[in-house]
């Protein structure tokens, strides 16, 4: 059995010296507004930059070209698939007509053999 020991936190490690604490300005609202203003003034050039709009326009044009090319390829592929379907339909029709022809020939041969058999039996 293990003995349960209560561990006391080391109070010395939890305390910070006053030098390490951040120095708060007299008015926290003024400091945060100043930080926001400096942040926005630093990055405001990015939002007003014409090159960003130009880049977005160029990217949009490239995407449109890619989508047009993709649509054209899909359309061509659909046309090829449709031609394959038409070709297969033609092949099935031809196979059906050959099958019917062979069935008719089989029936004619049966009839001839029956006639030959009847003639031989007489």
- pLDDT per residue as tens digits for the range 85-110: 999 999 999 999 999 999 999 999 99
Check residue 1 and give its pLDDT: 47
Sign of CA dihedral 64, 67, 73, 74: negative
What is the C-alpha to C-alpha distance for residues 62 and 69, in angstroms, rounded to an integer? 10
- Classify residue 17 by its DSSP letter: -
Q: How much of the chain is helix, strand and coil, in % rounded to 5?
A: 80, 0, 20
Check residue 74 and give its pLDDT: 97
Give 52's contacts (C-beta < 8 A, 6+ positions apart): 46
- pLDDT per residue as tens digits for the range 30-50: 555 666 666 556 555 555 568
91 φ, ψ (degrees, to nearest 5): -65, -40
Chain centroid to Cα 33, Å, comes to 44
Give 46's contacts (C-beta < 8 A, 6+ positions apart): 52
């Amino acid at each position: 059995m293990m003995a349960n020991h209560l561990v006391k936190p080391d109070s010395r490690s939890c305390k910070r010296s006053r030098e390490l604490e951040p120095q708060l300005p007299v008015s926290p609202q003024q400091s945060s507004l100043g930080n926001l203003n400096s942040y926005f003034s630093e990055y405001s050039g990015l939002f007003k930059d014409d090159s960003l709009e130009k880049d977005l326009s160029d990217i949009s044009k490239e995407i449109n070209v890619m989508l047009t090319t993709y649509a054209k390829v899909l359309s061509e592929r659909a046309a090829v698939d449709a031609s394959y379907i038409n070709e297969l339909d033609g092949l099935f029709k031809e196979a059906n007509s050959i099958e019917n022809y062979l069935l008719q020939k089989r029936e004619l041969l049966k009839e001839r053999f029956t006639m030959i058999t009847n003639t031989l039996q007489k």
